[in-house]
Amino acid sequence: MDDRPHINWPIRVEGPGYATAQQDTDQEAAAAIAVLCSFERGTRAEAPDFGVTDPTFQQMPVNTAELQRQASVYEPRAQLQVSVTPADALGGQQITVGVQIATVGEGDITVG
């Protein structure tokens, strides 16, 4: 691992500077996925395909395939473990996304 810190997400002040995440760590990949999920698709002029469709008024179940596809495009190092809770009495669902960074070993890709 090298010494290339990235500003962490969400951005917060820590001591005299900003909180950081070391490059090529699970924490840095998770921050990149959190940023991806924070943008509605079409809101970034420089990358109109970046982000996910706002699920607020979508039919259930929530489309997790879009998140997987966007992650493979914008953060290909990340291995996602996505789980969706069954709809509650009000029809709400919760999506939990676990992120690990894929590392290249002896010809194989392993989760590290």
What is the CATH classification number for the domain harbouring 63?
3.10.450.40
> Count of domains in the chain?
1
Q: Is the pLDDT of residue 80 over 80?
A: yes
For residue 56, is pLDDT > 90?
A: no
Please name which of 93, 70, 69, 72 lies closest in space to residue 83, comparing C-alpha atoms.
Answer: 93
CA distance 112 to 100: 7
Q: Domain limits at 100?
A: 5-111
Cα(3)–Cα(18) distance, integer angstroms: 16
Q: What is the mean pLDDT of residues 35-57?
A: 89
pTM, rounded to two decimals: 0.75
pLDDT value of position 103 = 65
